[in-house]
């Protein structure tokens, strides 16, 4: 089976190089891996001690950040190495201030794995949430490098729990300890013979709680908001926006809207703006404008949505009309803001929980969106109550980072 797996990885690597000629994202994926070993050679010396964290993409990086920060504090003489699988994570966080080296993870070939570990020299390895690469896990075990899964989550449909999943079950045996988000994940692992498991919860709660201690002020958002009731729309997609712009266009002039789309390509921003009948300004043109005069503010940049949520009276989080579903709702929740989302949220435990306890409203069509927004705009008590449910939920679920560290530290 290993022979077949390695053959498939080799073929996939070859096909990716061809596909990269026609896709800018795949070009980043392929070209970014060409310099990995040179980067490691220049940033990690033979005398260095390192701790390695692997994140599939941006969400997993943010999820693992509380553990990275604590590990860095506990091991000040070690270098932190962060790897990403996807360009959407690496390109956004390649210049982070937590890691001494941030690189793409080379494809999971036996040759790549041995070269990577020879240069990285990790004393511990942390995989965040998922991504189980058999060659990496095998070699980590062969070299007696402690390997942990943090904020792991497992579902019954995964191959580990099927009759044909023996190859991947074997790969899991190379992990020293599983820190999982919930009891169902623990029971699934126990059903295939694992006992080295602790339900630690989700480190994302620790991540978003820490946001409250930071400076979240943005002068230009304060100028735009101007004490008006403000709905912040985060990570929206066209399917979200088709409903949202209809609501915006018929909304009361006393309500303001901030839209931070998931995709900020110029043509999509222009298309979004063209659908809005209200006076609208872009982030890229804000410096020459009196922002208080506008009713809609489109954020055509990245990296500031979290701070913008701190100014929201109501939040809409996009992605809920697509797959795999809604984006991160914990960031607005930590600020005590009621949240509206689309219908596709069942794969996200925090969204399911907040819908069930009525801090979050799920809508499926224009009429339901209008009703949800009207309720929250017009009824301040309802807005406060749902926001309080959200913030309390976040506070009650923090602590995963401490649980993990207490177990792994001597």
Mind telling me the catalytic residues? 60
DSSP H or E segment with residue 314: strand 314-317
**Distances in whole angstroms, Cα of residue 396 to Cα of each of 198, 312, 393:** 18, 22, 5
Instruction: Indicate the Cα dihedral angle 176, 180, 186, 189, nearest 10°.
Output: -50
Beta partners for residue 80, in sequence order: 51
Other beta carbons within 10 angstroms of residue 135's beta carbon come to 21
| Segment 101-105 long-range contacts (CB within 8 Å, at least 24 positions apart) | 101/39, 101/40, 101/43, 101/44, 103/35, 103/36, 103/39, 103/40, 104/29, 104/32, 104/33, 104/36, 105/54, 105/133
**Distances in whole angstroms, Cα of residue 319 to Cα of each of 233, 236, 272, 324, 327:** 11, 6, 16, 8, 6
Give the whole-angstrom CA distance, residue 76 versus residue 92.
25
Task: Please name the residues in contact with 190: beta carbons below 8 A apart, sequence gap of 6 or more.
Answer: 197
Q: Decide: helix, strand or coil at residue 141.
A: helix
The answer to whether the beta carbons of residues 222 and 291 sit under 8 Å apart is no
Beta partners for residue 150, in sequence order: 128
Closest listed residue to residue 390, CA positions, set 311, 309, 336, 329: 336
DSSP H or E segment with residue 67: helix 58-74
Q: Decide: helix, strand or coil at residue 294.
A: coil
The answer to whether the beta carbons of residues 354 and 339 sit under 8 Å apart is yes
The DSSP 8-state label assigned to residue 158 in this structure reads S
Task: Please name the residues in contact with 376: beta carbons below 8 A apart, sequence gap of 6 or more.
Answer: 313, 314, 338, 340, 361, 382, 383, 386
- The CA R_g of the chain, rounded to the nearest whole Å, is 23
């Amino acid at each position: 089976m290993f022979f077949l797996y390695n053959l498939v990885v080799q073929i996939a690597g070859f096909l990716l190089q061809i596909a990269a000629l026609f896709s800018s994202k795949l070009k980043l994926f392929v070209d970014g891996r060409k310099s990995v070993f040179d980067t490691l050679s220049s940033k990690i010396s033979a005398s260095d001690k390192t701790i390695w964290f692997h994140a599939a993409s941006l969400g997993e990086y943010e999820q693992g950040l509380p553990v990275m920060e604590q590990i860095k504090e506990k091991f000040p003489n070690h270098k932190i190495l962060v790897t990403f699988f996807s360009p959407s994570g690496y390109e956004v966080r390649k210049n982070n201030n937590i890691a001494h080296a941030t690189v793409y993870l080379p494809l999971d070939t036996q040759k790549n794995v041995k070269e990577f570990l020879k240069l990285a020299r990790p004393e511990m390895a942390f995989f965040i949430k998922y991504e189980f690469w058999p060659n990496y896990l095998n070699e980590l075990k062969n070299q007696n490098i402690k390997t942990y899964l943090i904020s792991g989550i497992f579902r019954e449909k995964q191959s580990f729990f099927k009759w044909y999943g023996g190859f991947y079950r074997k790969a899991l045996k190379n992990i020293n300890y599983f820190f999982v988000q919930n009891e169902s994940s623990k029971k699934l692992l126990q059903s295939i013979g694992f006992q080295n498991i602790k339900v630690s919860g989700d480190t994302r709660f620790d991540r978003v709680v820490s946001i409250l201690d930071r400076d979240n002020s943005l002068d230009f958002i304060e100028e735009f908001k101007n004490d008006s009731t403000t709905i912040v729309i985060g990570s929206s997609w066209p399917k979200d926006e088709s409903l949202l712009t209809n609501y915006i266009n018929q909304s009361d002039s006393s309500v303001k809207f901030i839209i931070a789309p998931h995709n900020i390509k110029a043509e999509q921003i222009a298309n979004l703006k063209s659908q809005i009948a209200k006076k609208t300004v872009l982030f890229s043109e804000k410096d020459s404008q009196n922002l208080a005069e506008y009713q809609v503010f489109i954020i055509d940049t990245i990296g500031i949505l979290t701070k913008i949520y701190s100014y929201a009276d109501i939040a809409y989080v996009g992605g809920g009309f697509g797959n795999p579903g809604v984006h991160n709702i914990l960031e607005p929740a930590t600020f005590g803001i009621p949240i509206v989302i689309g219908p596709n949220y069942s794969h996200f435990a925090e969204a399911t929980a907040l819908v069930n306890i009525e801090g979050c409203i799920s809508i499926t069509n224009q009429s339901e969106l209008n009703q949800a927004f009207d309720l929250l705009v017009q009824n301040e008590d309802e807005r406060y109550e749902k926001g309080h449910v959200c913030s309390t939920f976040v506070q009650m679920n923090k602590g995963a980072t401490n649980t993990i560290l207490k177990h792994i530290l001597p």
